[in-house]
A and B are shown apart, each in its own frame.
Chain A
Amino acid sequence: MKVYRGIPAAAGMAIGRATVWGTPEPSAVSRTIRSADVAGEKARLARAVERAQAELRRMAQKLPKTDPGVKLLLAQQMMVTDPEILKETEAVISSHFVDAATAYRQAVERVRSSIAATANTYLRDRANDLAGASSLVLKYLSGGERLPRRVKPGQIVLACNLSPGDVLTLCRQQVRGLVSETGGATSHAAILAKAWGIPAVMGLVNVTKKLGGKGSPVIVDGGTGKVIINPDSKTREEFERRSKREKREQRALLALRRLPAVTRDGHRVRLSANLDFPEETEAARRNGAEGVGLFRTEYLLTNQGIPTEEEQSAVYRKIVRTFAPHPVTLRTFDVGGDKFRRGALPEANPFLGWRAIRIGLDEAAFLATQLRAMLRASTYGRVRILLPMVATVAEVTAAQKIFAQAKQALQHRNVRFDPETLLGIMIEIPAAALVAEHLAAQVDFFSIGTNDLAQYTLAVDRGNPKVAHLFDPFDPSVLRLLAMSLAATKKQGIEVSVCGEMAADPLAVPLLIGLGVQELSVVPALLPGVKRLIRELRFADLGALASEVLEQASPGAVKAILRRFLEQIEKQGRRRGRLG
């Protein structure tokens, strides 16, 4: 039995038969060939070069024509087809009787090292471009994209690396656990594994080589990052015990999927999902999401630049369609200046700087493009458009003007959209909460970002280890701003949802509902837990709870009251045989 520790990427425990999966790194071992094989190796080389060139061309086509990446990909295409390198490779194949990959590697290395040694810095950088281009050829020479085999349900996959696409494929095939040599806790792949509830451990270097034989039993503990190969019987027993208990809880939670999020006295709450990537959609639906309370669009802004209206609308359309007729809330880009403009001057205080709606209002075309793309999706389902980091009434007025222009532009082009598409704002800046009454009269809905609201209000950076402990969304100051915002929505008759972490916190859920929140939007994995809690509450009790909480002077006192309340609920639930 061997115990290894990697990075915990997705909590949960699983035991299964291990299998190594995916394309291994191209082998660096040289093969001797016979003279009869020389022509064949040269042909393999030519084919690999063709495929590499085609792939580079495809990547270039995906980019906007003005993107600097296009020039790089063009240069790499030329490197890959460089006649001198190919001539030398063929010469080595014929004279040394080695395989194409070895010969190619040699030829490329000769060029690479002569450029790397030059005093010309510009030229030295090209050595990297060459390395990238040539590795593509080597990939195709070593068999290229070998299609991954299907996994048998119940297997634990060990891989060199797992792309988000890989994780999606494997989860659909009911893999039981994932272990990868690369990746981290917050990688896209980890987020997906979490969304699917598949235990995952990442960053375990060389794990694929540690398996004794194919099909060895492996335990994966995603919560601690432990991977145990060939567990002994004592370890197995302990695992079985813990895992049975976890599975029982999971099953009970999933059974809630089809049930509505309604309190015992009939008060309905909409439970939606927060999505960072469209690939989390399936997990959200599986967990019973009634729509998307927050779709973050930032992932669309990659190194390759800003996506076009066409590209964006394709993404939004897909999500809106998937959840129709439930509403999908699309938030406009909430990014800092650095993502928007490469080489922009660094800001001393990016948190308080040029980001989100501020960029949108300065660069109206940028915002208008996204709004048009979102409007186009509105014919496929219910779309709500959400503006981030709003602080003032004037900002909303300006944004609404751009929104109106976006609608006009679409009308001009005879493109259909739903004219009733709702436009709302995030309440995360204290200024907005303080003038919530005016803002609620201007917009169609609020979405409260409790994390950022708490940070701005308490002037605390959660990421700063020296003060992170001061961050507390249950602080009376934050709760008051929340209450103000909610009161304003009630007065104007507009909807309000909460999409911060608080929405999934069992301590906060009764309070939020008591204050009048209509929608809670949480990460997919937490949906069943929140629903279970809601179904145990009596709405009639929650108003008094909220009033009592708002009178408190410290977060400690607030949480004590909420904790007591929660304990009561759980006791009653157990008595009714519903919980525990």
Chain B
Amino acid sequence: MIEKTVMVTNRLGIHARPAAMLVQKASKFKSEIRLVKGALEVNAKSIMGVMMLAAECGSKLFLRAWGPDAEQAVAELTDIFESKFNEE
């Protein structure tokens, strides 16, 4: 399993557009990918799940991936977080 910590740094947090970006990217990979916030763990390929995280600006999340392309998945998803979802 690959795990990485990611921070939500864009002002509006993970609202619809960032959530859609995440889910679109995650769905491209074969690996199982999860996002964890506190006690809540969701499937990163599930739009409803990602939205329910309600991750606001400043949240700390864990990205976890299992499978053949886990490393690449984590790397690309981390990029998305770091680029602030192209919002700022």
Which residues of A pack against B, CB within 8 Å?
71, 74-75, 78-79, 82-85, 111, 114-115, 118, 120, 122-123, 126, 130
Contact = CB atoms under 8 A, between A and B. Distances in A.
**Best-buried of A78, A79, A83, A130 by chain B (most CB within 10 Å):** A78
Interface majority SS (helix, strand, loop, mixed), chain B: helix
Contact of A79 (B15, B24, B42, B48): B48
A373 to B, nearest CB: 32
A82 B47 contact: yes
Given A82-B46, A82-B47, A115-B51, 11 more contacts: A71-B17, A71-B20, A75-B16, A75-B19, A78-B20, A82-B48, A85-B46, A85-B48, A111-B52, A122-B15, A123-B52
Interface in B41-59: 42-43, 45-49, 51-52, 54
B65 interface: no
A114 B19 CA distance: 18
Contacts of B46: 82-85
8 shortest interchain CB distances as A-B pairs: A78-B47, A84-B46, A82-B46, A111-B48, A120-B54, A82-B48, A84-B43, A83-B45
Given A83-B43, A83-B46, A85-B46, A126 B20 contact: no
Contacts of A79: 47-48
A27 B17 CA distance: 34
Interface residues of B, number: 17
A78 B44 CA distance: 12
B73 interface: no
B23 interface: yes
Nearest to B46: A84
Interface in B10-26: 15-17, 19-20, 23-24
Nearest to A115: B52
Contacts, number: 44
Interface of B: 15-17, 19-20, 23-24, 42-43, 45-49, 51-52, 54
A79 B48 CA distance: 7
B7 to A, nearest CB: 19
6 contacts: A75-B16, A82-B49, A83-B43, A84-B48, A118-B52, A122-B15
Contacts of A111: 48, 52
A79 B49 CA distance: 10
Contacts of B17: 71
A75 B20 contact: yes
A82 B48 CA distance: 7
B52 A114 contact: yes
A126 B16 contact: yes
A477 B16 CA distance: 58
A75 B24 CA distance: 10
